[in-house]
Amino acid sequence: MIQQSSLLVLFIKYVARYYPRILRLTFQHLTISAIALALTLVVCVPLGIYITRKEKLAPYVIGLANVFQTIPSLALLGFLILIFGIGNDNAICALFMYAMLPVLQNTYTGIRSVPSHLVQAAKGMGMTDFQILLKVQLPIARPVLLAGVRVATVWIIGTATLASAIGGGGLGKLIFSGLASIRYEIILAGAIPATIIALLADQCLKFLQDYYSPRNRAKRMAKKAEKLGVDLSE
């Protein structure tokens, strides 16, 4: 009890004193995670789409992502030092490799699960391949795709704490220095913001997912039309 309450006091004191540093590291953490996530999306969504059209490649590409994902993250980071040296680039690259699988896999399965008669119908009505992708396949695959993105986001934010192990920045710095000096309040000062960021990001994505669900979108359109209807009839 005493220890716990004193830990709380220590924690508050630490935060009060070092909050500029905590904020700076949080910001750094966010930046690293955001870059890694952006990289993952930019590479894996198109790649996932591509392998729905080159079915033969799919098992290899997904298999490779699976391998990356299975390598223990610390080992992966260590290994990448050989290529990138020490620092944030290395960390971002490792995070990217680590988060590939859910995005790739869900893009692939999401698009493949679009019933083929819908694609045929879209084609039969005169959509180009690109229009079919944009207006039919991606919207229908969106919930599955976003679920993959959510998993990847949480993973990246959590794993980004390891970046400081190889000389990168982020909240991991606090955690590691707390561990090294056995000062729990410092560990908490790193772990709590990291958890909050992960939860917030997850909730944001969940909100997006709901907001753009067909049902809610239809409801909004109906409302808007009601308002417009008055305007139109005048």
122 forms part of the interface with another protein (CB under 8 A): yes
128 forms part of the interface with another protein (CB under 8 A): yes
Distance (Å, rounded) from C-alpha 231 to C-alpha 4?
63
Closest alpha carbon to 148 in 111, 194, 200, 195: 111
Note the Cα 198 to chain centre separation in Å.
9
Only one of the segments 32-40, 122-130, 173-181, 197-205 lies at the binding site for another protein (rule: CB under 8 A); that segment is 122-130
* Binds another protein (CB under 8 A): choice among 59, 63, 85, 214: 214
* Binds another protein (CB under 8 A): choice among 125, 180, 182, 230: 125
126 forms part of the interface with another protein (CB under 8 A): yes
Closest alpha carbon to 167 in 89, 83, 97: 89
Residue 31 or 209 having the CB closest to another protein: 209
The sign one gets for the Cα dihedral 102, 106, 107, 108 is positive
**CB-CB neighbours of 119 under 10 Å:** 18
Residue 70 or 113 having the CB closest to another protein: 113
Residues 99-118 that bind another protein (CB under 8 A): 115, 117-118
221 forms part of the interface with another protein (CB under 8 A): yes
Distance (Å, rounded) from C-alpha 179 to C-alpha 176?
5
- The count of chain residues that interact with another protein, using the rule CB under 8 A, is 26
